[in-house]
Chain A
Amino acid sequence: MRLYSRVRLLLVLLSLAAALGLPLLTYAPNRLLTGQGIALLDLLQGGSGLRWLALLPALPLLLAPWWRPGIWRERLVYLAALWLGAALWWLAGSEATLRAGDEDALARVSFGGGFWLLQLLLLLQLAEALQVLAGGLPRRVLLLLLAQLPLLWLLLSGRLDSLSLLREYHNNQDAFDDALLRHLQLVLFSVLPALLLGGALGVWAYRSARFARLLFPVLNVLQTIPSIALFGLLIGPLAWLGRQLPGLGIAGVGLAPALLALSLYALLPVVRGTLAGLQQVPPAVREAARGMGMTPWQIMLQVETPLALPVFLSGLRITAVQAVGLAAVAALIGAGGFGAIMFQGLSASALDQVLLGVLPVLLLALLVDVAFRLLIARLKGADDHA
């Protein structure tokens, strides 16, 4: 047998190690205690005895490294990884139902290290397969989303409800919805002002090298202040401002300082993206535009903006993803968001509650990232053909 794909072999070996060496799930008598590991092999003996059937798709994945490359190998790997990923969720869900018993029982089944590692490795398998299966970002994203459909079905049908993570969700449902709304507000209302101000500052920095020399040290220093310190630094001045201007809702803690701090962080990447975008407009293009009699406004709107847009959006993508992450920290000064759930879980040492705060942040960041990438790819594509 000839080995065709070393990457696949590595993924398979790591998956085997994760499946056999790490606990897939953990079981604890209540939510605050550290759980005991449940290995994959233990799981297979439980239930109806037919659980091993769910793991059948592992077989093609094990063989794939030695399989001749081609579209069919990748299709099979895609389907197998998709199925296996869902099977692991289903196994976890049914084990949780078995062990946790009824609604208000205290016992908890949570995910172990093996579960996360296996899911990550399966995602990498999917990504490998998509490289061959889907040309272009939009199709790749679509196939990746399709691969999540089984998980969505498991979630909606309630088959995962006994898992500790889902029980945390059901116990905190109102808080979760509030957190989602607040988190989105934090991101939107910090990125939007940064977008306007940063765009203007970037254009100005492009026009005046002297201004750029003044601006960038300030922005760079801002960026290096740890977020918690910046939140802390703002408490004093804002509290003072709130006392001077009562009735505006300004306070040292809460939404205002969080939005201010997040906007400040968002400024540097936006300014940098604007400047970089403008700088890569070829000087000859600008000279030609001027020479043919375009007014400065026409040059800005018809030439500089469209040519700078892809680079500018790349800057904005980084900004937005960063804001999603940083907004979680804003909970420390009472601004709410998923950070609040996370820190609450931390202080109660309820790991699954922490997870309930972290996972949506991760997903949100991923979504924002992909959305921007799609937009940029579209813009570039429109230039190539159209």
Chain B
Amino acid sequence: MTMLELKAVNKFFNGWQAVADVDLQVAAGELAVLIGTSGSGKSTTLKMINRLIEPDSGSIRLAGEDIRSQPPEVLRRRIGYAIQSVGLFPHWTVEQNIAAVPSLLKWPKARIRERVVELLELLHLPAAQFLARYPHQLSGGQQQRVGVARALAADPEVLLMDEPFGALDPVTRGTLQQELLRIQALSGKTIVLVTHDIDEALLLGQRIVLMDKGRVVQQGSAQDFLLHPASDFVRDFVGQSDVGVRLLGLDTVASRMRPLQPVSGEPIAASATLREALSAFVARRVSSLPVIDAQGQPAGVLHFADLLPVAA
């Protein structure tokens, strides 16, 4: 089922075209990533979906319904929205912030409380510790988590995220990316996420949409982008010299390992990417690695040659 559909959408700012003829379809439960250089129209496209910006032409449908068929406020309460600068209300506690949309929807108090606690646990913020805190008492990463929790609060049909992890350090960003994947797997939410980090796009995006000067220049899976770039621009954007390594990043050790043979040395997790395996091979100067499963039990062995796909 198509959850979100943009057709021939255009947007002009003072006669200058910021978004040009964008067509986009996002299936229910899909995580789509909009990526592109600065000023390519990603945020504008995203904000047209929740009507923070009105398009000049074209149509946008949410769950089959034209988004203009209801007042913008009603539409926005059905759509979660998280942004890089978070924008938590500084005069409200974490609890009040997360409860914002459910309160607008007039949920009963008990249900709101329950939902807030549930979300805090989901985002690994112990409720007892964080409920009553004010935003200025949180670290940047914690604020970002609360921002995501607030966007998820009323169980929206679609989640829009504009560079949600852009301002974080690489470690925190990595953690939150993994959490987003986990939440998406758990809840099956339709998510549109904007980034300009190609690695983030390759990691998160089931569908990647590359924009340039307001136009969509290619969309498809991570493999499509790495193996079949549509133009030199796309090739440059995904980083020509790193294509091989990035391809390795898409598969896990589990997909290539061989059945158990005794091999000595420090093991690698079956869930690690082949990219991490390559790094381990080179750093440890070995040609084979023992593999362990999630329980720490020996699961198999990976040889250096296994990194090459059997049949391309």
Q: Do A and B come from the same complex? A: yes
- The A/B interface has a contact count, at CB < 8 Å, of 62
> Is there contact, CB below 8 Å, between B87 and A287?
yes
Q: A293 is contacted by which of B75, B83, B88 (Cβ under 8 Å)?
A: B75
Residue A148 CB within 8 A of the other chain:
no
> Is there contact, CB below 8 Å, between A288 and B104?
no
In angstroms, Cα B89 to Cα A287, docked, is 11
Residue A298 CB within 8 A of the other chain:
yes
Chain A nearest Cβ from B130, distance in angstroms = 15
Chain B nearest Cβ from A180, distance in angstroms = 38
Question: Chain B 259-303 against A: per-residue CB contact (8 Å), 1 yes, 0 no?
Answer: 000000000000000000000000000000000000000000000
Chain A contact residues: over half helix, strand or loop, or mixed? helix
| Closest A residue, CB atoms, query B86 | A284
Which chain A residues border B74 with CB–CB below 8 Å? 293
> Is there contact, CB below 8 Å, between A285 and B88?
yes
> Is there contact, CB below 8 Å, between A291 and B90?
no
Which chain A residues border B75 with CB–CB below 8 Å? 293
Query: By the criterion of a CB under 8 Å from any partner CB, how many residues of chain A are at the interface?
Result: 20
> Is there contact, CB below 8 Å, between B89 and A291?
no
In angstroms, Cα B85 to Cα A274, docked, is 25
| Closest A residue, CB atoms, query B80 | A292
Which chain B residues border A290 with CB–CB below 8 Å? 52, 76
Residue A383 CB within 8 A of the other chain:
yes
Which of A284, A288, A290, A298 has the most CB atoms of chain B within a 10 A radius of its CB? A288
Which chain A residues border B151 with CB–CB below 8 Å? 292
| Closest A residue, CB atoms, query B93 | A386
In angstroms, Cα B52 to Cα A286, docked, is 11
Which chain B residues border A384 with CB–CB below 8 Å? 134
| Closest A residue, CB atoms, query B160 | A291
For this complex, 15 residue pairs linking A to B, each with C-beta atoms less than 8 Å apart, are A282-B87, A283-B85, A288-B86, A289-B87, A289-B89, A291-B81, A291-B83, A292-B77, A292-B100, A292-B104, A293-B72, A293-B76, A294-B73, A383-B90, A384-B134
> Is there contact, CB below 8 Å, between B52 and A285?
no
> Is there contact, CB below 8 Å, between B89 and A285?
yes
Chain B nearest Cβ from A274, distance in angstroms = 18
Chain B nearest Cβ from A111, distance in angstroms = 48
In angstroms, Cα B52 to Cα A290, docked, is 7
Question: Chain B 77-108 against A: per-residue CB contact (8 Å), 1 yes, 0 no?
Answer: 10001010111111100000000110010000
Residue B50 CB within 8 A of the other chain:
yes
Q: Interface on A for B, CB 8 Å cutoff? A: 282-295, 298, 303, 306-307, 383-384
Which chain A residues border B50 with CB–CB below 8 Å? 291
In angstroms, Cα B150 to Cα A48, docked, is 77
Which chain A residues border B90 with CB–CB below 8 Å? 282, 285, 307, 383
Which chain A residues border B52 with CB–CB below 8 Å? 287, 290-291
Chain B nearest Cβ from A82, distance in angstroms = 39
Chain A nearest Cβ from B84, distance in angstroms = 8
> Is there contact, CB below 8 Å, between A383 and B87?
no
Known contacts being A291-B52, A295-B73, is A285 close to B104, with CB within 8 Å? no
| Closest B residue, CB atoms, query A303 | B89
Besides A293-B74, A293-B77, 13 more A-B contacts (Cβ < 8 Å) are A282-B85, A282-B90, A287-B87, A290-B52, A291-B76, A291-B81, A292-B81, A292-B101, A292-B104, A292-B151, A293-B72, A295-B73, A303-B89
> Is there contact, CB below 8 Å, between B91 and A293?
no
Which chain A residues border B91 with CB–CB below 8 Å? 306-307, 383
Q: B87 is contacted by which of A285, A293, A298 (Cβ under 8 Å)?
A: A285
| Closest B residue, CB atoms, query A286 | B87
Chain B nearest Cβ from A301, distance in angstroms = 12
| Closest B residue, CB atoms, query A379 | B91
In angstroms, Cα B104 to Cα A311, docked, is 27
Which chain B residues border A295 with CB–CB below 8 Å? 73
> Is there contact, CB below 8 Å, between B104 and A293?
yes
Chain A nearest Cβ from B15, distance in angstroms = 20
| Closest A residue, CB atoms, query B97 | A288
Q: What are the 8 closest A-B residue pairs judged by CB atoms, nearest first?
A: A288-B87, A293-B76, A284-B87, A284-B85, A291-B81, A293-B77, A293-B73, A285-B87
In angstroms, Cα B103 to Cα A298, docked, is 12
Which chain A residues border B72 with CB–CB below 8 Å? 293
In angstroms, Cα B167 to Cα A284, docked, is 14
Which of A292, A295, A383 has the most CB atoms of chain B within a 10 A radius of its CB? A292
Chain B nearest Cβ from A210, distance in angstroms = 16
Question: Chain B 139-171 against A: per-residue CB contact (8 Å), 1 yes, 0 no?
Answer: 000000001001100000000000000000000
| Closest A residue, CB atoms, query B73 | A293
Question: Chain B 49-87 against A: per-residue CB contact (8 Å), 1 yes, 0 no?
Answer: 010100000000000000000001111110001010111
